A and B are shown apart, each in its own frame.
Chain A
Amino acid sequence: MPISAIIFGGRRAKTAPLVYQSRDWNHGVFVGSIMGSEKTAAAEGQVGETRRDPMAMIPFCGYHMADYWQHWLDMGNIIPNQPKIFNVNWFRTDENGNFIWPGFGENLRVLEWILKRCFDEADAKETEIGYLPKAEDINLAGLDLDVETLEGLLSVDRDLWKAEVEGIRDFYQQFGDKLPKELAKELADLEARLNA
């Protein structure tokens, strides 16, 4: 099957927005490399420790993970007609630790925007972390969720993301100088945008 979009996901109470799109292939590989899930269920606004699982391949990558990322980057150079790369997070919570987004079948509303982006049928707004949808571009018809709540799900908290940069840097340490320079650059660029 021809692929229009590659979607990376995780489980983050506060950090990652409902959905965002990478700027280009290399940035997309970066987004895949930082995928994470919080170890403990968030409660009362606390954020659990993040377990990183790049491309969900930690238990399954049959060779050096940094070399694997380099292979992903190299693949970008040989796919003339690339799929777009996105990150989703169904699991943001409110101050009581409840999930805000209903998930399940309603996730199709997010996939709808993703596919529109793949075919140049929808706009996006540029943020420090990548392209986010405008709230009005996610179809809420038939859903008991208001636009303000959706805007919350699409928000990017600079302070949380600065902490995220530290977490990513920590995680990347174990790969030493095998870490592809493109990923080091993406991290540095992200940090620069957050501090601008």
Chain B
Amino acid sequence: MELTKNKAVLEWIDQQIKLTTPDQVVWIDGTEEQLESLREEACATGEIYKLNQEKLPGCYLHRSDPSDVARVEGRTFICCEKQEDAGPTNNWMAPADMHAMLDEICGGAMKGRTMYVIPYSMGPVGSPFAKYGIELTDSIYVVLNMAIMTRVGKAILDQLADSPDFIKGLHCKADLDPEKRYIVQFPEENAIVSVNSGYGGNVLQGKKCFALRIASNLGRQEDWLAEHMLILGIQNPQGEVRYVTGAFPSACGKTNLAMLIPPEGYQKDGWKCWCVGDDIAWLRVGEDGRLWAVNPEKGFFGVAPGTNLNSNPNALYTTQKGTIFTNVALNLDDDTVWWEKLDKNPPKNALDWKGNPWSPETA
């Protein structure tokens, strides 16, 4: 079933199989066929719920464990050899100690489960800017999200060929135990391990783990920058196209800026704006001596509360198809979703984000 003959890949996966002891191993080939069959399987077990396919084609709902709803900065580590290289803003543990602890948590953690092998690319496959990774996971939800957020499948392995230059990622949901939840980057090993979480930036390793934490190290070595930035394209009435990048802490309007819609007067004058990326930019010096930006992601990962036709119509329209909604309310009357401030029309008959009955009166 292996989709490659790359020795480095096979040896590493073999080690992880011996450690986590899954019942079976499935390689993600990237075909729509395989993804669709995984969606059906996840629906059958209740991992995801198929929404109203007329109103929300290709959309699904997932609820995570209530203790597992955000990135956990306090349990995220940069495990370089020397503590002084992590600096005062990072959590650090000696790599050997961390590996020992993680091996214990991951030991046998996939027993009774399937290990999915996700070859993925940050950046367009084959681009000189692209970097490749493999994430091993026991979660179909992770497979489906990675297929949205990154380019996945056999094409990545074909591109990688015999090279050992890939980022090694292991993700074990284990027991979703918050006390044993760790998100760990080993920059000198080009490795990522996340355990006891099933959520977002903790487990979709391409995004924060790879494209920022590991990649910032690569950038330092290779003379480029991996940044927490949007990329926005702007065309003025003269037809000149320019691009800007922007870094904003959370709650400072980054997504709205990335998806900016010009005011009416500006639209009439011929201004156009488009979103190249809303979260991460990789910046390199081009042959022309300018700084060039690439969005290494393929999809968008947004925050639902507060997103509505007034605050961010572009984001809202994007969620009308092919979207996985996590921890939002389910409108039981028509199998659509709802969240705080979506509109002034909360569903009368709903399940809340924990799956409990909800209505505006009881809210």
Contact = CB atoms under 8 A, between A and B. Distances in A.
B3 interface: no
Contacts of B291: 2-3, 79, 81-83
Interface in B209-242: 212-217, 219-220, 223-225, 227-229, 231-234, 236, 242
A5 interface: yes
Interface size class of B (residues with CB under 8 A): 35 or more
B290 A68 contact: no
Given A78-B223, A175-B88, A3 B185 contact: no
Contact of A63 (B187, B223, B233): B187
Contacts, number: 200
Contacts of A71: 219-220, 225
A45 interface: no
Contacts of B224: 75
A3 B247 CA distance: 13
Given A67-B87, A108-B271, A118 B216 contact: no
A7 interface: yes
Interface residues on A, range: 35 or more
Main SS at interface, chain A: mixed
Most chain B CB within 10 A, of A7, A63, A178, is at A63
B253 A62 contact: no
7 contacts: A3-B244, A57-B216, A62-B187, A65-B89, A71-B219, A83-B245, A115-B242
Given A63-B80, A79-B291, A108-B266, 9 more contacts: A35-B247, A56-B228, A56-B254, A61-B89, A65-B88, A71-B219, A83-B245, A118-B242, A142-B265
Interface of A: 1-11, 32, 35-37, 51, 53, 55-68, 71-72, 75, 78-83, 88, 90-91, 103-109, 111-112, 114-115, 118, 141-143, 174-175, 178
